[in-house]
Amino acid sequence: MKLNSIKLPHFNSAADSRSTGIKTPDRVMISMAQHGGVPCTPIVSAGDTVKTGQLIGTSDAVLSAPIHSSVTGTVTEIRKVINVFGKLHDAVIIKTFPNRELADDIKPPEIGSREDFIAAVKKSGSVGLGGAGFPTHIKFSYDRETVHIDTLVVNGAECEPYITSDYRTFMEDGDKVADGIRRVMEYLDIKRAVIGIEADKPAAISRMTELTANDDDISVMSLPSVYPQGAEKVLIYNTTGRVVGKGKLPSSVGCLVMNCSTAAFISEYLKTGIPLIQRRVTIDGNIVNKPKNLLIPIGTLLGDIISLADVRVQPDRVLFGGPMMGTAVYELDTPLIKTINAVLLFSDTRKYEQTACIRCGRCVNACPMGLVPTDLEYAYDKRDAELLKKLNVELCMNCGACSYVCPAKRALSEKNQLSKLYLRELASKYTKRG
């Protein structure tokens, strides 16, 4: 069986740009909400001096990852902000010093067991760098008595237009990707790994094939260059043939999925002990003269990133992430967080008028999850919770493929997002009443 998918233009002009670091910004704003789960609480106060890599935010919640300072400087303020995903949380504002000094406790972790490894990954602040932001240590902490993982699926599909940060990770840090995969397999006792890379990145496929030539248990798979190849369930199916059921996790079919950049980070952390304080970001868009990849400290403000972008005109639309699943950003004072793999700058973007559905069925043929977006739209417009559930709206991963192909420009994916929020609100109302 072949899953539905769509073809997208790639616009990957930054693919040949070797990543470079940037001058440390004068000021950073480090968000306490950089992961799926509960935001952290700052453990520093205004007036404190912090060093690079110092722990500045923690949480006792299970689903959370610690946050570290990406710079050396003075905390000037702790401020409540609303992030791009609408979450109110604390942010730590730091005025940077010219010289960087690493935090005193930074050293490579000592690892003798699975538990040590998971504790080290937790301490590193690692989250899924592909965009989902799920804390990595939680993914690794499955109960070995009840969950049997036999395959590590490494996500190198990078299927959204413009984004090339994972590709550059393969090309520049392929040895770290391979080492990170080996470490995860070793400490979690996973027997095999498959690295999935889209076929339109032959250099990355060759490089990883070469770097893992002596690893009989690691294979590199060339995948069709279609969207959304990098979606977790799609990737698992296309690399292993296994189907993750409704409401189930990849672990239910023996798989653990990890982004290639996360693998590279884990390798680096185990060698240096430097936590997740910077990331590779693609800077591109239709007004960028020289698309590129930059290594940017977490907390760098959007305004500072735009100033590095060499744009022809001022952008009228800015995205964190790709054009299919990214988020529009409106404030120059929005900080880079761990999950953002691209900053895309556009001008004169086309505005579309929504018209009536012509029943062409393209949205149905585009959906990799076998959903019927027209029926889902109808159910949402009627606020019919039972019908939404019956139509499996929870399976929608908001990939945007249905909206993209719709000639009537209907906001199908967006309505599914709203439908899921609607069902959650209803459920929480019932819980409160009950």
Contacts with ligand SF4, residue ranges (CB under 6 A)? 357-363, 366-367, 369, 371, 373-374, 396-402, 405-408, 410, 412-413, 416
Nearer to ligand SF4, 32 or 399 (CB): 399
Taking 3-state DSSP, the helix, strand and coil percentages for the chain, each rounded to the nearest 5, stand at 30, 20, 50
CB of 372 to ligand SF4, least distance (A): 8
Q: What is d(CA 426, CA 153) in angstroms, rounded to the nearest whole number?
A: 35
Nearer to ligand SF4, 138 or 366 (CB): 366
Nearer to ligand SF4, 117 or 237 (CB): 237
Kindly give the residue spans of alpha helices, DSSP state H, lying in 39-135. Answer: 114-123
CB of 396 to ligand SF4, least distance (A): 3
Helix (H, G, I), strand (E, B) or coil at 305: helix
Phi, psi (degrees; rounded to nearest 5) at 233: -70, -35
CB of 198 to ligand SF4, least distance (A): 18
Q: Considering just the CA atoms, what is the radius of gyration of the chain in Å?
A: 22
Helix (H, G, I), strand (E, B) or coil at 357: coil
Nearer to ligand SF4, 32 or 402 (CB): 402
Nearer to ligand SF4, 119 or 357 (CB): 357
CB of 319 to ligand SF4, least distance (A): 17
Kindly give the residue spans of alpha helices, DSSP state H, lying in 48-145. Answer: 114-123, 136-140
CB of 245 to ligand SF4, least distance (A): 16
Nearer to ligand SF4, 101 or 375 (CB): 375
CB of 325 to ligand SF4, least distance (A): 9
Let me know: does 36 contact 133? Beta carbons within 8 Å. Answer: yes
Nearer to ligand SF4, 306 or 369 (CB): 369
CB of 393 to ligand SF4, least distance (A): 8
CB of 185 to ligand SF4, least distance (A): 31
Q: What is d(CA 43, CA 45) in angstroms, rounded to the nearest whole number?
A: 7
Q: What is d(CA 79, CA 312) in angstroms, rounded to the nearest whole number?
A: 34
Q: What is d(CA 38, CA 59) in angstroms, rounded to the nearest whole number?
A: 8
Q: What is d(CA 286, CA 323) in angstroms, rounded to the nearest whole number?
A: 12
Nearer to ligand SF4, 205 or 405 (CB): 405
Helix (H, G, I), strand (E, B) or coil at 339: coil
Question: Exposed/middle/buried for 370, CB within 10 Å: 0-12, 13-18, 19+?
Answer: exposed
CB of 163 to ligand SF4, least distance (A): 18
Could you tell me the strand order of the sheet in which 317-320 lies? 20-21, 292-297, 278-284, 342-346, 317-320, 327-328
Let me know: does 105 contact 275? Beta carbons within 8 Å. Answer: no
Q: What is d(CA 127, CA 114) in angstroms, rounded to the nearest whole number?
A: 18
Nearer to ligand SF4, 78 or 243 (CB): 243
Q: Which run of H or of E encompasses 340?
A: none
The distance from CA 242 to its chain's CA centroid, rounded to whole angstroms, is: 23
CB of 286 to ligand SF4, least distance (A): 24
Q: How far is CA 166 from CA 130, 171, 289, 381, in A?
A: 8, 9, 21, 38
Nearer to ligand SF4, 93 or 399 (CB): 399
Nearer to ligand SF4, 144 or 424 (CB): 424
CB of 407 to ligand SF4, least distance (A): 6
